[in-house]
Every structure is written in C-alpha cells, then in structure tokens.
Amino acid sequence: MKVLLIGGCGFVGSHVADALLDQGLKVRVLDLKPEAYRPPLHNVEYVFGDFGDSNTLFEALAGVDAVVHLASTTVPGTANLDPVADIKGNLISTVRLLGLLRNTGCRKFVYLSSGGTVYGIPQHDTVPETHQLKPINSYGIVKVAIENYLHMEQMLHGLSHVVLRASNPYGPRQGRLGVQGIIGTSLWKVVQGEPIEIWGDGSVIRDFVHVRDLAKLCVKALISDATGCFNAGSGTGASVNEIVEKIARTLEMKGLEPMTVTHTPGRAYDVPRIVLDITRAKECLGWTPQISLEEGIAESFEWVRNQISNS
C-alpha cells in the first residue's frame, strides 16, 4: 500500500510517517515545507506545496492507495480570528481534495478531526462518539463540516473513511510557537527560563494523548476495514493546574530550579471539561494508549532540553 500523508512534516504527521514506515507501508508526504526538527527521511517521497492547490494535489495523489489527512491551516486558538480563512484553508481545500479522489483508485481515507472541539460543551463526564456535535468555535465547526462531507462521499461515491477525533496530542517535535498545546508550550518556556502562562484559573480539564500513541492509532485505522468516527485520547482528564504540577515535579526530580507561573484571563471558546470515551477505538481497532502522562512529559522535557542545548 502506498499512502499519501497530507501534513506529514508537522508535529503529528512526522510521527505518523514513522508509524507508517514501521508498518512496512510506502509513504509520500505532502506539506508546505520540510520538518522543523529533523532532516528528510530517505525512504519517504516528498511533495512540497499547498494542499489547497489542485495541481499540487493531482501530482501528490498519483498512484496512491490511501490518504491520511492531518493538515490544518488553523488551531482552535486562531480559527475564530478569521473564520473565512479557516473555511477557505481547511473546508474548501478538503472538499476539493475529495472531488479529485473520485477520479483516482484511492478508496481509503483517514482524517484527523478534533475531539476537543467538535462536541462543544459536553453533556457527559466522558464523551462518546454518539454525543451531539455542537462546537462553539470555528475550528470545531469546520471539522464537523468535513466529517459530514466524508460521510457524503462514502454514501454517494463509496469512499471508505475513518475519522479520528483526537484530544490534545503532545510529545517530542511539538513546536515552540505557543499555539500547539499547553504541554509543549510550557516545556519550551520552562527550559528557556520563561514563566508559564495559564489562561484563567487553571481548572480547565483536557484529555491528553501522546503523539506516538495517536500515530499508532492512525495506522490501525488505515489498515482496518472499520469505518466511521473514533475518539482518540487517553480516556482520562487532567486540569491545566495538574499539568503544571507534573511539570514542576519533573523539574524537581531533575534537581532544577522551580518555574514561574503567571495567569491571564480565561478564553470564551474554552470548554470547561472534555474527556473522551475511547471504548470504540479499543474494541473496533484494537488500540489502547500506552504512554502515561508522567512518562510523556518527562520524555518531552528531555527532548526540548536537547533541542535548546544543541541550537
């Protein structure tokens, strides 16, 4: 099987590329630019360009059997700033991609959606895939729209697809720009001696999944005959304050100076709690996350420290 991995040079995509290669699959990556933290892989074919461009997509789709679509031009914190750009960059580009797929032999599609935003404000402590979809920000609205288009493609054109509603991924190769999650952002700040910034009182609860666990789920979804939506998280929640405490303990265990924490006003689009029910992924795809939050934070801390010391 030859797989087109859209967004394969990003944080999550780089780990999915590793997992696909470990499975013995052929990989072609489509992304805007090379990976930020390691050189190109010798056994991966790269196409650099915008996945919203039809000519680039046509070139990248030639001869592939399946697509894993991870690319996004926004994150939850930026999508509301320009919803029109969010729609153009993500929804319209993906609909164009699906149209091109109808003229190829590619009939398998895995899409990375957002378990943290598509459900809106949860009505249950642990959220199953059957929960109502009522997102409260543009990022989640666009993700739901893409999910609906995928369902339409399956019903009308036979596209076998899996939607993975991921929680908050973290781990090595997560960027330092402050838009990719509390764990990665905080670790970069701590290692550089900067204060950690907490939105609100730190009581917001999220489900965090290690990026390698998420990458393995992407591969399982790709090679499975299963279709439909699957939550992709740890199945447990941790508050922002608990994350800060775990980072503090990591510093203490390594004999390092304690960090400084600052607080800023909360954000209206942050739901107070979201923890995903991952029973369906366990039962249908045979997947269970393996890396604990403590282990993952410690590993990520060492990776960030190595990046800074080698820069």
Q: How far apart are CA 171 and CA 86, in angstroms?
A: 26
Which residue carries 């990458």 as its tokens? 215
Is residue 139 part of the annotated active site? The answer reads yes
Burial readout 143-177 (b: 16 or more C-beta within 10 A, e: otherwise): bbbbbebbbebbeeeebbbbbbbbbbbbbbbbebe
Q: How far apart are CA 136 and CA 270, in angstroms?
A: 9
Cβ-proximal residues to 2 (8 Å cutoff; 6+ apart), any chain: 25, 26, 27, 28, 63, 64, 65, 66
- Tell me how far CA of residue 275 lies from CA of 115, 121, 184, in angstroms: 9, 11, 19
Cβ-proximal residues to 223 (8 Å cutoff; 6+ apart), any chain: 1, 23
Catalytic: which of 37, 111, 119, 139? 139
Residue of 240, 231, 236, 14 whose CA lies nearest to 117: 231
Task: Just list the catalytic residues.
Answer: 139
